[in-house]
Amino acid sequence: MKKRQSIVSIVSKREFPGNYILWEIRPPEKLEFIVPGQFISVLVENNPKVFLRRPFSIHQVDYHSNTIWFLMKMVGEGTRSLGSLREGDHMDILYPLGNGFSLIENANVLLVGGGYGIAPLYHLAEELIQKNTQVTFLFGAKTNTDLILKEKFEKHGKLMITTEDGSEGFKGMVISHPVLSHPENRIDFIYTCGPEAMMFAVADIALKHNIDCELSLDHVMGCGIGVCLSCVAKTVRGHETSCIHGPVYNSKDLVW
């Protein structure tokens, strides 16, 4: 689907502990295929302190109802302003932006998410299942109150949980989970999204076991169209704006 600017209506707003909001929005134009891992860029209106748009991964797409879901965590001035919107209000968005994940067919894959980095992995899982690929999830959080939308993911595959405080699932960091001890035995491909340190650690494990890995960079993306240069990534090809060439990269293409 070609990127465009659109004024979308807010269909629903679902709030979670930890200042998370799951938005459901409906564009006026008919949706075409959106690659998992692509994102939207939302204009923050009626707040003179905020000038730049805010980027959010696309969490789910329903082509029949012509709706898109995205997950947001209120952490600053811009997201708090967006959080004041209600059902029936409108948003100004640019979408779909960037390049998404590869869709591997007839394989066993592991989707590793940290914090609200789980957001794009649901859309990815839905499309992978259509490719006859078996999906396993490994999610990590500081504590169990940061684990949201578990029931949705569990419908599409086995879900393994890690929490740093041991309040749910395996106690420790995501990269310490036993499933990553010998991934070459049962995993053909790894996808990951979350804190950068976590993603690079997962990518390093994948590299050591000769497994391809794709990750979605969480950079500041002020414009979403490669102009502001706030999201430059260092790659084997040189420096690139991740809003255009990413946010999804094969880990072998990044320099870290």
User: For the structural domain made of 4-97, what CATH number should be given?
Assistant: 2.40.30.10
Fold agreement between 4-97 and 108-253: no
Residue 213: pLDDT over 90: yes
Residue-wise pLDDT for 29-66, tens only, equals 999 999 999 999 999 998 888 888 999 999 999 999 99
Residue-wise pLDDT for 63-118, tens only, equals 999 999 999 999 999 999 999 999 999 999 999 999 999 999 999 999 999 998 99
By the 10 Å C-beta count (0-12 exposed, 13-18 middle, 19+ buried), 256 is classed as: exposed
Whole-model pTM: value is: 0.95
The mean pLDDT of 128-145, rounded to a whole number, is 96
Going from N- to C-terminal start, the domains of the chain cover 4-97, 108-253
Helix (H, G, I), strand (E, B) or coil at 69: strand
CATH architecture of 108-253: 3-Layer(aba) Sandwich (3.40)
Range name among 37-46, 173-182, 191-200 with the lowest pLDDT average: 173-182
CA-to-CA separations, 165 to 31, 118, 197, in angstroms, rounded: 41, 19, 19
